[in-house]
A and B are shown apart, each in its own frame.
Chain A
Amino acid sequence: MEEVITSRFSEELVRKVDQAVSRGHFRSRSDALRVMVEEYLKEHPELFLGEGTRELLEKAPTMLDDELEALGSRLFRGLNVAKLVAEGRL
C-alpha cells in the first residue's frame, strides 16, 4: 500500500531533482524522491536503531567501584576473565 505525502522543497532542490529526472536517472520526481529516501535510510540505520541500548543503560543500576568489584568477585568466581573475553573472540 502506498501513501501520498506532501512536502515542501526549496526551488534549488526541486531544480536539482528535475535535472536528475531529465537526465534519465529517475523516471519521475516521485521516483527520484522515493529512491533518495530509500538510499538515505539504508545508509543511516542509526535512525531507527539504538533504543535497546538506551533502555539497557536506563534500567541498569549505577554501582560504585567497590560494589561492582563485589559483584565481579561472585560473577567471575572460578573463571579466568582474560580467557572468557578471548572465548568470545573465537
Chain B
Amino acid sequence: MRALVYLDTNIILARYAPDEPQHREAKNLLVKIEEGKLAAVTSILTLIEVVSTTSRAYERFKGKAEFMKREEVAGAFLRRVISIRNLGLIPTGGEISIEVEEQRVKLPALFAVALEIGSKTGVKTLDNIHLASASIASRIYGQKIAYFLTLDEDILKHREEIKNLIEIKVATPVEISEVPFDS
C-alpha cells in the first residue's frame, strides 16, 4: 500500500516558489505524488488558501505582472492544484447537529472535529481545520497518515502535542526527504 501524507498549503505553494528554502524538497515530493509513488491528501481549505495567498502576493507584486490579471494568477494556481494527480481533497462532510439549551446548530463534520481539536491544542483556528482534515482523512481512507507535512512554524512548534492528539507525525519535506516511500 502506498504511504499517505497530508500536504499543508505552504508545501504546495513552495513547489512553485524557487526562492523558498524547501522548494526543491517540495517539488520532489509533488513529483513523487504525481508519479503515484506516494498518495497525498489535503483539505478543501487549501484551495481557498492557494487563491488568497497568490492573490495577496499579487497585491505586493502590483505593477510587475501586467501580463496577467490577479484573478488569472490565482485561478491558474487553483486549476493546477485541483488537477494534481493522486492528491485527494478532504471535504467538509455532512452536518452534525448540536443542541444547547434548545438552540440547534448544524456543523459540517470537519468543523466539529476542528472544534474538538481546537479545544485541546494551542494552534491557530485555520490550522485546526487542516489537522481535522488529516484526522478525517485517516478514517476515510482507512489508512494512517504517515506524515502531516508543513512549513508552518506554529504547527511545527506544536508537533508533539499534535502527534499525541491525532496520532500523526508532523514534519517538513526536508525531514522526510530520505524516507524511502517508494520502496
Please give the residue numbers on chain A whose beta carbons come within 8 Å of chain B beta carbons, in ascending order: 56-57, 59-63, 65, 68-69, 71-82, 84-90
Residue contact B49 to A81, C-beta cutoff 8 Å: no
Select the residue from A76, A81, A86, A89 with max chain B CB neighbours within 10 A.
Answer: A81
Q: Write out the residue numbers on chain B whose beta carbons fall within 8 Å of the beta carbon of A71.
A: 16, 68, 73, 76
Does more than half of chain A's interface fall in helix, strand or loop, or is it mixed? helix
At the interface with chain A, which of B55-63, B161-169, B175-183?
A: B55-63
Please give the residue numbers on chain B whose beta carbons come within 8 Å of chain A beta carbons, in ascending order: 8-10, 13-20, 49, 51-54, 56-58, 60-61, 64-65, 68, 71-80, 82, 124-127, 151-154
Q: Write out the residue numbers on chain A whose beta carbons fall within 8 Å of the beta carbon of B10.
A: 81-82, 85-86
Q: Write out the residue numbers on chain A whose beta carbons fall within 8 Å of the beta carbon of B82.
A: 57
Does more than half of chain B's interface fall in helix, strand or loop, or is it mixed? helix
Q: Write out the residue numbers on chain A whose beta carbons fall within 8 Å of the beta carbon of B68.
A: 61, 71
Residue contact A85 to B49, C-beta cutoff 8 Å: yes
CA distance A79 to B17 in the complex (A): 9
Residue contact B61 to A75, C-beta cutoff 8 Å: yes
6 more A-B contacts (CB under 8 A) besides A60-B76, A84-B13? A59-B72, A61-B68, A63-B80, A69-B16, A85-B10, A86-B153
Identify A73's interface contact among B17, B51, B56, B154, CB under 8 A.
Answer: B17
- Top 8 A-B pairs, shortest CB-CB distance: A60-B75, A72-B16, A82-B151, A76-B17, A89-B126, A82-B10, A85-B10, A81-B17
In the complex, 16 of the A-B residue pairs with CB atoms within 8 angstroms, ordered by the A residue number, are: A57-B79, A57-B82, A60-B74, A61-B79, A71-B68, A73-B19, A75-B65, A79-B57, A81-B53, A82-B20, A85-B10, A85-B53, A85-B152, A88-B53, A89-B126, A90-B124
